[in-house]
Structure 1
């Protein structure tokens, strides 16, 4: 008997639908023709044991016990899904062949692997286990995946990577939460100060942004515009006048009067330039014309979809993920949504016509735009070398029989459809002209764009160039009249508060918040802070724990969040350390780093941080409201009060 173990019931049903009939639905599994069985997990059936499972003394939180580092790691069955685990253990022992059908990512790999290990199958049975990778729940796609089973042993590094992450999170969160909760108790704080490997640097991003805004002192800066007419004798009020503007470029001699961003701070200097150029003749020094092309955007991965949905519809990251899960599991309209990849296998191009027909039927885009797609085109997204366990999020070939989608589901499906459709539209082509002008020995520049072919941008609904400067035909050496110099006074602006879109963008592009050039270089090559599957949940967790709050679309830190970041050492609240860990976890998955080489320095860093917690200035916690513990800590609430 062959046993398929899916990550969740919806995936199990999809696998069973692609296997021979008749089917018999049993308690916790589906038996298909020929005696093979499809069963399922319900998310993680096993979880890391609590510290008191290792020793009774850990029931009381005590600084002397930290760090708690298990010699032999223990997993415990989750109470609410214990029955399904028992069913799976029995089936694993009965099976002749095992198939890991977890979701196509490192968590999905580990989730099923740990259940198989927990059931203690024979060495031969474990070695011969297969891996089924399903990213599209429609029958045809699942059948294709079933015909391409791989040895599960090929994915051991992926499982080890997920295991390293899970244990690192346990060590980091469990120990540092205890350490800083104990520090807070010294000044009378009641409750739990939760610290996490990824959540705390995210909170740090928000706190530092909020404090930067709070302490921001605006100052004036000045720009000079030259209003120009290419016809020296023409009335500027004439209907045929082709006037335009150019912006002053301060020379090196002006640097003492400028800030670090090259803005002129001395009003008198700018006023002097205005007076010098009024009613003066200028000369065109150069006209640089170039035709530029922009390729269509790649299909979405989860983060890029969450960012665009936040901008377009004001949807929170978790809201987007939940909506995607419905489109994937319930409606089967999109491929696997927790993907971190934006490329597609070349073989998928064969299904383009069917996918486009489904988009048209399901009103994913206007019929005329679908009809305008050219399936003979192949954008750069079709690249087998850049596709790993999963690919970009795209529509499936499934056609809805009726309009059964919610408003959110329609919005997300339309975004995904638009990005897929863009792969069959030509490049956006425009001409860019940059002009440099000299007036009274001062340099002025202007530029303009002219659309040649909208290409894929017809799908976006509007031109991006409506507000661009329009330039008349100009040639090098041409004389121009500066009929007016204009002084523009502006105020420096503080950075904007984070929103769902910008916080997600910060997490995926975390390198720009890092100063160390070596770490920055490493981070540019990784996926950022957190993973596609965890980012939305971590942001929501910070809200639930009272560290973040919403003010309209803005995400702000609470008083508790600010206090925690101010007390923690910078290495805990900045992204450098945990983002490098994410890079290391990816290296484990790629067989470039061992589990031990990841864990050993982590344990040393953890010990160092715990020592710092014993001497930190915890006075910021004195007047804070009590933080509610999450479910993991709730049952130990009484022990918090006893902790010394």
Structure 2
């Protein structure tokens, strides 16, 4: 018997639909033609066992037990999925050939691998396990994926990486949560002090931003604009560029802090000749942005529609599993395999049927081939794009909004480059330098697909020309400064986090790291968390009452601030956890092994537990978590399940 194991029921049904008939539906599986069987997990149907599964003494939380480090790791069937686990286990024992059909990512690989390993199969069957990567649930696409099976052993590094992440999270979360919960009780904190290697540094980012906002003192600074006229040119303005002699009166960003200095410049340039010293026009072009990965999609949906990361993820899952009109959504990749290029016409036709984008589809030129089609940059999964499926039902408002974002980003690949001219004019007035800049679009290209008009951007910190063009002047030409204008400004505090900026912070975490060596490493990683986990981590911080919403902004609560104030700095910064992600990526690429990742972590736990034991979390004194009992009930519900756990070795 051939056994296909999917990650979830919807994928199992899609696989069965692509296999020969007749089909017989059973409890937990589908029997297809030829006697083969399709079954499924329900996400992770196994979970890391609680500490008391290793030793009953751990039922009572005590500092002297820490750190708890299992010598042989145990997995336990989740209480809510035990029935399905029993069905899958029975089928695995009967199978002669197993096809692993987990989602095409790190967690999807581990999710099915851990079930196969936990159940136990003979070495011959295990060596013959095959891997099927499915990113499109439409029957034709599933059939194609089933025809392109690979040895499951090719993906072992991906599974080990996910396993290392799972165990590291357990070690860090269990030990730190117990340590600080026990210490919190000593200062009167009522509740479990939840600590996580991603959630806690993320909370630290928000807390530090909030404190920076509250302690921010605005500083006045001054700019000078020269209003230029001539007999043949319309009025335009140019911004004063302070010379090196003015630097003692400027801040680190070159802003003039001395009002008298700016006023003196205005007096000096009034009615004076303005000589053109430099004129430059640079023709430039920019290709279309790549299709979305999950984080980029979540950021754009937050900016445009105010959607939370969780809402975007849930909407994507519906578009993928229920409607089948987008590809696998939990992707961290923004490239497409070359074979997809030949499906473009069918995808564009489907977009025209599924969304109100007829004009945009008609303008797409499938003869164009953007940089997105690159097999070398496609991993286990590719960018999120529409499928060729024609949707016959009705989409919700959120589904329509997210689908159209994905569709437009895909259509951009078949539009020409955005072309523009960047221009600069530099003037000399009374010995001072004045500059005006403008950007003029000459061909909209893919920007024609954007809802908003293409904006004409002046250079950073420079004035915009109302005419959207530079004055037509030549080097050596003498114009006149009609007058100077003083612009009295204030430095602005950083904006509080919102859904879009917090996600952007997680993906671009290197911006928040000061150590140059760590910053360099982090620029090469995906940041805090993964595409599949970021939304849930943010929601968890709300659930723990560490974060709250104020309108569209995300702020830290009193409990959240108290926790960060009570922890050693290393636990509240992104450095450590982002380095973990870098190591996990290296494990998945076979550039680092499991032991080299886990050994330093286990040693660092000793130091962290020691610190917690000697330092009370004063910041939590007298605070109370209003839902503290939920943690106790959760532990009780899993108590019996832990007794049946089996050991699992690396």
**Post-superposition offset of 1:636:** 4.7
Q: Deviations over 1:237-275 (max 9, x none)?
A: xxxx51111111111111111111111111011111111
Does the CA contact (< 8 Å) of 1:192 and 1:627 recur in 2? no
Counterpart of 1:16 in structure 2 is 16
Distance in 1 (alpha carbons) for counterparts of 2:228 and 2:145: 65
Distance in 1 (alpha carbons) for counterparts of 2:538 and 2:548: 10
Distance in 1 (alpha carbons) for counterparts of 2:455 and 2:48: 55
Q: Deviations over 1:133-180 (max 9, x none)?
A: 000000111011000000001111000000000000000001001111
Does the CA contact (< 8 Å) of 1:193 and 1:627 recur in 2? no
Counterpart of 1:196 in structure 2 is 196
Partner SS state of residue 225, structure 2? strand
Does the CA contact (< 8 Å) of 2:301 and 2:402 recur in 1? yes
1:443 aligned to which of 433, 454, 458: 433
Change (3 A) 1:630 1:369: farther
Counterpart of 2:367 in structure 1 is 376
Does the CA contact (< 8 Å) of 1:68 and 1:171 recur in 2? yes
Counterpart of 1:642 in structure 2 is none
Counterpart of 2:287 in structure 1 is 295
Counterpart of 1:5 in structure 2 is 5
Change (3 A) 1:627 1:52: farther
Q: Which runs of 5+ in 2 are unaligned?
A: 458-463, 638-650
Q: Which runs of 5+ in 1 are unaligned?
A: 235-240, 639-644
Counterpart of 1:603 in structure 2 is 602
Distance in 2 (alpha carbons) for counterparts of 1:59 and 1:68: 12
- Residues 87-166 of structure 1 correspond to what in structure 2 (within 5 A)? 87-166=87-166
Q: Deviations over 1:581-625 (max 9, x none)?
A: 000000000000000000011112221111111222422211212
CA RMSD of aligned residues (A): 1.3
Distance in 2 (alpha carbons) for counterparts of 1:630 and 1:600: 35
Counterpart of 2:550 in structure 1 is 551
Does the CA contact (< 8 Å) of 1:373 and 1:424 recur in 2? yes
User: TM-score with structure 1 length normalisation?
Assistant: 0.96
Counterpart of 1:180 in structure 2 is 180
Counterpart of 2:245 in structure 1 is 253
Does 2:278 align with 1:283?
no
- Residues 56-67 of structure 1 correspond to what in structure 2 (within 5 A)? 56-67=56-67
Counterpart of 1:505 in structure 2 is 504
User: TM-score with structure 2 length normalisation?
Assistant: 0.95
1:463 aligned to which of 447, 453, 459: 453
1:349 aligned to which of 329, 341, 344: 341
Change (3 A) 1:141 1:287: same
Change (3 A) 1:575 1:37: same
- Residues 208-227 of structure 1 correspond to what in structure 2 (within 5 A)? 208-227=208-227
- Residues 200-599 of structure 1 correspond to what in structure 2 (within 5 A)? 200-229=200-229, 231=230, 233=231, 242-363=234-355, 365-402=356-393, 404-465=394-455, 468-469=464-465, 470-599=469-598
Counterpart of 1:34 in structure 2 is 34
**Post-superposition offset of 1:461:** 2.9
Distance in 2 (alpha carbons) for counterparts of 1:549 and 1:465: 34
Does the CA contact (< 8 Å) of 1:113 and 1:159 recur in 2? yes
Partner SS state of residue 73, structure 2? coil
Does the CA contact (< 8 Å) of 1:242 and 1:471 recur in 2? no
Counterpart of 1:238 in structure 2 is none
**Post-superposition offset of 1:395:** 0.2
Does the CA contact (< 8 Å) of 1:529 and 1:579 recur in 2? yes
Counterpart of 1:237 in structure 2 is none
Between stretches 53-62 and 302-311, larger displacement belongs to 53-62
